[in-house]
Structure 1
Amino acid sequence: MRSKKENTKALIVDSFKKLMTQHSFDKITIKMITDEAKLIRPSFYNHFADKYELLEWICYKDIFEGATLLIDNKMFNETILFVLTRIENNKEFYVKAMKIEGQNSFESIIYKFLLKMFEELFSVLDIENMNFEGILTASEIANYYSRGLTYFLITWLKKGVQVPAHELAEKYYLLLSNSLEDIVFKPL
């Protein structure tokens, strides 16, 4: 059974998600969120500093929290499919969220969580000392993969999530497991 605090947080999240499907992010106010949730404004601030923190919390809970369990079990492909499926299942919300730009952009939130995800994966696989003859560290390689997957996700969202998550995951695996020469010169 949920505590009163958890129920209040859930009301705020549900309210915000609903408003995001109806309005652009910049038009949504804290008052709109609390009115929709039938709460008073201080209730919002008891849980979140602002709507950017709320968005980040939703992304973490909705997408990345479950991915951590898969990483802990060394299930990399399943982790990527899980992330894509969670976005696909809530595509109306995430297509709108993707349009948030600036210092606290949706893209920066996704990148931050993907970086953490890849760093956790490398840690679980015990390849922290992985390097390319001193050129790249495990952290730098995590950065590389995070940026690539962020671009992949944002492009998918910009196109309206028209390709199913499982097909997109297959295409991502192809990119990861083939050289540029294979992709450009040989049909896959």
Structure 2
Amino acid sequence: MKYEITSLNTKKLFAEALKKIILQKSFSKVTVSELIRECGVNRKTFYYHFSDVYDLLKWTLEQEAIDVVKNFDLIVDYEEAILFVIEYIKVNNKFLNNIYDSLGRDELKRFFYTDFVGIVEIIIGKAEEETHKKLTDNFKKFLAAFYTEAIAGTLVERITHQDQQSKEELVTYISTVFRSSLTSVVREFPNSLDSLNYKSDT
């Protein structure tokens, strides 16, 4: 247990160093040498915890935002979870914008997507329980990708255009979509694809 705490603290040390450096230069120009110098450790320590600077960035975003969101009851606490992410984007806006400038929109969206897809899958599972409906695996994957793509795109858009809506408006928009549509989609999905009576084009 003591080792795990020490390892986590070391990772957090690197994460803070990364954020500090990115505020001064683009992410693409950050080097491992800078990070170990900032943290006062050797190169071996860095590579024990991370494969490269990109890996450190991914861990930083997950640790500070995504993993915290996973602690919410996402059926009950939609708005609190969404508000947390929006607030995180606001507080870390310069940091995230510098990443955006270095990696581009699609790459930054991928960071949000990778972890939010798991969160959305949890919500879909709870919607199945509420509606006493069992979806096919393929449809669950489709549904998770559909909603996650929308969320990830919205969050990235928030990084570069914070003045489009107030955070209260954005929370209302996203939570309304989830509350009103997801349960209905799950409930309306047919028990058998045969019932859709699709006719193939000839």
Common topology (TM > 0.5) = yes
Match of 2:118 among 116, 119, 124: 116
Match of 2:152 among 147, 150, 153: 150
Q: 1:129 to 1:98 in 2, by over 3 A?
A: farther
Moved more, 80-89 or 29-38: 80-89
CA shift for structure 1 position 39: 1.6
Partner residue of 1:31?
Answer: 33
Moved more, 166-175 or 148-157: 166-175
Q: 1:144 to 1:164 in 2, by over 3 A?
A: same
Partner residue of 1:16?
Answer: 18
Spell out, residue by residue over 1:37-81, the C-alpha distance to the aligned partner (whole angstroms, 9 max, x if none): 122111111111111111111111111112112146642232222
Which one-letter code corresponds to 1:116 in the other structure? G
Which one-letter code corresponds to 2:150 in the other structure? G
CA shift for structure 1 position 177: 7.0
Instruction: Please show how residues 123-162 of structure 1 align to structure 2 within 5 Å.
Output: 123-126=125-128, 129-130=134-135, 137-159=139-161, 161-162=162-163
Q: Larger C-alpha radius of gyration, 1 or 2?
A: 2
Spell out, residue by residue over 1:7-26, the C-alpha distance to the aligned partner (whole angstroms, 9 max, x if none): 32221111001111111011
Partner residue of 1:93?
Answer: 95
Match of 2:64 among 46, 62, 65: 62
Which one has a larger percent helix, Structure 1 or Structure 2? 2
Spell out, residue by residue over 1:105-160, the C-alpha distance to the aligned partner (whole angstroms, 9 max, x if none): 222111111211101221233357347xx9x712211111111111111111122x
Number of aligned residue pairs: give it. 174
Q: 1:175 to 1:118 in 2, by over 3 A?
A: closer
Higher relative contact order structure (alpha carbons within 8 Å, sequence separation ≥ 6)? 2
What percentage of residue pairs aligned between the two structures are identical? 22
Q: 1:38 to 1:164 in 2, by over 3 A?
A: farther
SS across alignment from 1:34: helix
Q: Distance in 2 between matches of 1:118 and 1:35?
A: 39
Unaligned runs of 5+ in 2: 182-202
RMSD between aligned alpha carbons?
2.9
Q: 1:95 to 1:71 in 2, by over 3 A?
A: farther
